[in-house]
């Protein structure tokens, strides 16, 4: 039976619920109940409706369905400080976990603007989203979204400051341990640490963990201090020169990100220092553009950002089904070894 | 009046339409009509309902509203080959233009997989989206989405191969003209062109325009050929050496992207060639990470990707309101002059 030629079918060729009911020989009300899984009916009746749905290629209007089920099958994905290099993989991981099913993702980019955030939040609540993922750019904690008590929320990358919220973050301590263990186990003992601005949690905490991990091997930073600066290649180049002036016997650089590491590698090459023969360089983030274009390509810590997004989505689905599961989930890093170490 | 303490209000504290009707002293049907703008009623009545909406902080259920208006106030944003450096600014521009109003953006990433594309497309159609933006990564044309005759579609960056569709693309010819005019007007006459793989439209067409623009100034490429290769720094370094071997009097490199340009700049510096004193370098894309980290920072063509997304969104809104407007809209580029030229 071709629906497009059936009398009474709508002009766009889509089968309607009345067509399904007629073919199944039931009332429209019964067909609706069968589709929404509600109400009592004989299994044969439900099966007849489902067979008719199949035969007609009927696809229910999701807005009407939402009114029945009380669920919108949509999730808000809110990026709070611009969609950039860090939030994109998180966003993709979440979209991958959600979009494969029947859940759709409403994208909101608030760009760190509280007016935009309120506007988007009101819109998401109006649309009765089943839950919200808030994806940050930095690892610094952020205040919880206001006025979202009625829906589950999961914070990805930037954790909520409220411990009763659910957050999914990167395991900075584990990532630093992988880098330092790798350098120490390959015979490096004079290790310098060059990183970003001290007011960023990612710089501050990785530096603290680096000092602690070195201490576990009875070592200290080759320059006896942390080189805080910028997340840039130019800073990496300047810092490399400063480190070699202070501690010429430095045999490795552990850097807070891949841009700094690339700058360090360039400065070393231009001074005639061989990487990795004389000095090893390890970066952080595994940003492929930087890590692969570096000469030599960088050994670096991969923070598994897509996995952070995926786990945030799974935590959200769990919370939608079973209620909130407060706490901070950390996602392990992995070390990618290339020619620089 | 506090709705949360009003008798009969729902447990989540949200005002209901019945609360609005009671406060306005009208029937629920009248309140609904007033909200949806339909039906005849006295302006005073509509105003009383609106006052009650305001006082109670009532927010209509958008699913119920959609059933009334026949519009879902959602737009699908489909990226067909991964969300990357090129599709992100397009996506942000579109989200900016759409999200500021009451339209929400449903994000779908098909990652070039036709099964995923069909799944997402079915989902978007089930949700009765008002329209779809298809954002590509490359400038190569793509086949139109199948089965979307009932909703407006706008193609951004990658145009549709069907001329009756609406596409918004970058003005490659104009971008190349800006670069060549700049080099020629600053006295360069021996200009080489190094670019990406010939099977990419962006490489092939920019190369063709470069030859044509040079001919307009009675010039030809310094090496009498186009250097097709990869979109990488490593290719830029290799090509720079090859160009200078063939045509040592080359006084400028016009490169197909910023990575190639950065590689060229590095190779020149390492050969002791001064940029821009001896040789000028111009890139393409204005990818800030590359263009600013280059030594020296790159003069480059900015393709205004966010503007492509914004115009695609505006074209889609126009098509939703007024029907399809077939054709290809080109968005002009701009030249960003930095130290490399």
Contact A127 B106 (CB under 8 A): no
Write down the pLDDT at residue B9: 38
In the predicted model, what is the mean pLDDT of residues A96-122? 82
In this predicted structure, the answer to whether residue B229 has a pLDDT above a threshold of 90 is yes
In this predicted structure, the answer to whether residue A232 has a pLDDT above a threshold of 80 is yes
Identify the burial level of A215 via C-beta atoms within 10 angstroms of its C-beta, where 0-12 means exposed, 13-18 middle and 19 or more buried.
exposed
A39 — pLDDT class (breaks 50, 70, 90):
low
Closest CA to B313 of B109, B102, B132, B108: B132
Contact B83 A96 (CB under 8 A): no
In this predicted structure, the answer to whether residue A26 has a pLDDT above a threshold of 50 is yes
In this predicted structure, the answer to whether residue B3 has a pLDDT above a threshold of 80 is no
- Chain A residues in contact with B62 (beta carbon < 8 A): 126-128
Tell me if B25 sits within 8 A of B49, measured CB to CB. Answer: no
- Chain A residues in contact with B95 (beta carbon < 8 A): 107-109
pLDDT-wise least confident of A43-47, A326-330, B173-177: A43-47
Higher-scoring residue by pLDDT: B5, A64:
A64
Could you tell me the CA-to-CA distances from B21 to A168, A209, A281, A300, B15 in Å, in that order? 44, 61, 69, 62, 11
Which pTM value belongs to this model?
0.79
Residue ranges, CATH 1.10.260.40, chain A? 10-68
In the predicted model, what is the mean pLDDT of residues A78-106? 78
Write down the pLDDT at residue A83: 57
Count the Cβ atoms, other than its own, within 10 Å of residue B59.
13
In this predicted structure, the answer to whether residue A88 has a pLDDT above a threshold of 90 is no
Lookup result for tokens 């994208």 = A107
A9 interface with B at CB cutoff 8 Å: no
Cα separation of the two ends of chain A: 67
Write down the pLDDT at residue B13: 54
The mean predicted confidence, pLDDT, of chain A is 87
B219 interface with A at CB cutoff 8 Å: no
Q: Write the DSSP assignment of A237-271 as a string of letters.
A: HHHHHHHHHH-TT--EEEESSHHHHHHHHHHHHHT
Could you tell me the CA-to-CA distances from B320 to A60, B67, B150, B155, B324 in Å, in that order? 23, 17, 11, 14, 8
pLDDT-wise least confident of A243-257, A313-327, B325-339: A313-327
Q: Write the DSSP assignment of B138-169 as a string of letters.
A: SSS-BPPPTT-TTS-EEEESS-BS-TTSEEEE
At the fourth CATH level, the homologous superfamily of domain B172-302 is Response regulator (3.40.50.2300)
In this predicted structure, the answer to whether residue B55 has a pLDDT above a threshold of 60 is yes
pLDDT-wise least confident of A30-34, B31-35, B57-61, B326-330: B57-61
In the predicted model, what is the mean pLDDT of residues B164-177? 96
- Chain B residues in contact with A104 (beta carbon < 8 A): 106, 108, 123-124, 127
CA angle A105/A102/A84 to nearest 5° reads 25
Identify the burial level of B48 via C-beta atoms within 10 angstroms of its C-beta, where 0-12 means exposed, 13-18 middle and 19 or more buried.
buried
User: What DSSP character marks residue B6?
Assistant: S
Contact A106 B104 (CB under 8 A): yes
Write down the pLDDT at residue B59: 65
Interface of B with A in 97-156 (CB under 8 A): 99-100, 102, 104-109, 119-120, 122-128, 150
| E strands, A183-223, in order | 191-195
Contact B259 A293 (CB under 8 A): yes
**Cis bond leading into A148, ω under 30°?**
no
pLDDT-wise least confident of A160-164, B48-52, B242-246: B48-52
User: What DSSP character marks residue B191?
Assistant: E
Residue ranges, CATH 3.40.50.2300, chain A? 73-170+305-331, 172-302
B278 interface with A at CB cutoff 8 Å: no
Helix (H) or strand (E) holding A121: helix A114-126
Closest CA to A102 of A155, A60, A52: A60
In this predicted structure, the answer to whether residue A277 has a pLDDT above a threshold of 50 is yes
- Second CATH level (architecture) for the domain B10-68: Orthogonal Bundle (1.10)
Higher-scoring residue by pLDDT: B73, A212:
A212
In the predicted model, what is the mean pLDDT of residues B319-326? 87
- Second CATH level (architecture) for the domain B73-170+305-331: 3-Layer(aba) Sandwich (3.40)
Tell me if A331 sits within 8 A of A168, measured CB to CB. Answer: yes
Contact A106 B102 (CB under 8 A): no
B74 interface with A at CB cutoff 8 Å: yes
Collapsed DSSP state (helix, strand, coil) of residue A132: strand
Could you tell me the CA-to-CA distances from A53 to A49, A159, B123, B334 in Å, in that order? 6, 44, 17, 54
The mean predicted confidence, pLDDT, of chain B is 87
For residue B109, what are its two tokens? 């990433």
In this predicted structure, the answer to whether residue A50 has a pLDDT above a threshold of 80 is no
Could you tell me the CA-to-CA distances from A5 to A9, A14, A23, B141 in Å, in that order? 8, 11, 15, 35
């Amino acid at each position: 039976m071709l629906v497009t030629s059936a009398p009474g079918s709508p002009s766009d060729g889509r089968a309607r619920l009345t067509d399904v009911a007629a073919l199944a020989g039931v009332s429209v009300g019964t067909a609706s109940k069968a589709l929404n899984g509600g109400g009592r009916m004989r299994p044969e009746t439900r099966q007849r409706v489902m067979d008719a749905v199949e035969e007609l290629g009927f696809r229910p209007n999701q807005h009407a369905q939402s009114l029945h089920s009380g669920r919108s099958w949509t999730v808000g994905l809110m990026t709070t400080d611009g969609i950039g290099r860090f939030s994109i993989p998180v966003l993709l991981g979440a979209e991958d976990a959600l979009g494969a099913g029947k859940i759709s993702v409403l994208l909101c980019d608030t760009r760190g603007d509280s007016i935009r955030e309120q506007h988007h939040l009101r819109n998401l609540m109006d649309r009765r989203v089943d839950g919200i993922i808030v994806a940050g750019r930095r690892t610094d904690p952020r205040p919880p979204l206001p006025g979202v008590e009625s829906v589950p929320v999961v914070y990805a990358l930037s954790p909520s400051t409220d411990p009763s919220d659910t957050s999914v973050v990167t395991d900075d301590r584990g990532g630093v341990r992988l880098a330092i263990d790798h350098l120490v186990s390959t015979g490096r003992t004079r290790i310098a640490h060059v990183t970003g601005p001290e007011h960023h949690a990612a710089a501050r905490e990785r530096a603290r963990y680096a000092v602690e991990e070195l201490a576990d091997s009875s070592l200290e930073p080759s320059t006896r201090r942390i080189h805080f600066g910028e997340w840039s290649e130019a800073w990496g180049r300047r810092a490399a020169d400063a480190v070699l002036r202070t501690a010429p016997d430095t045999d490795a650089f552990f850097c807070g990100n891949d841009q700094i590491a690339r700058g360090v590698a360039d400065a070393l090459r231009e001074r005639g220092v061989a990487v990795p023969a004389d000095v090893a360089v390890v970066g952080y983030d595994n940003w492929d553009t930087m890590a692969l274009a570096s000469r030599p390509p960088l050994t670096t810590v991969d923070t598994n950002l897509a996995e952070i997004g995926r786990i945030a989505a799974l935590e959200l689905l769990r919370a939608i089904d079973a209620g909130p599961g407060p706490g901070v989930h950390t996602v392990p890093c992995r070390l990618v070894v290339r020619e620089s170490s």
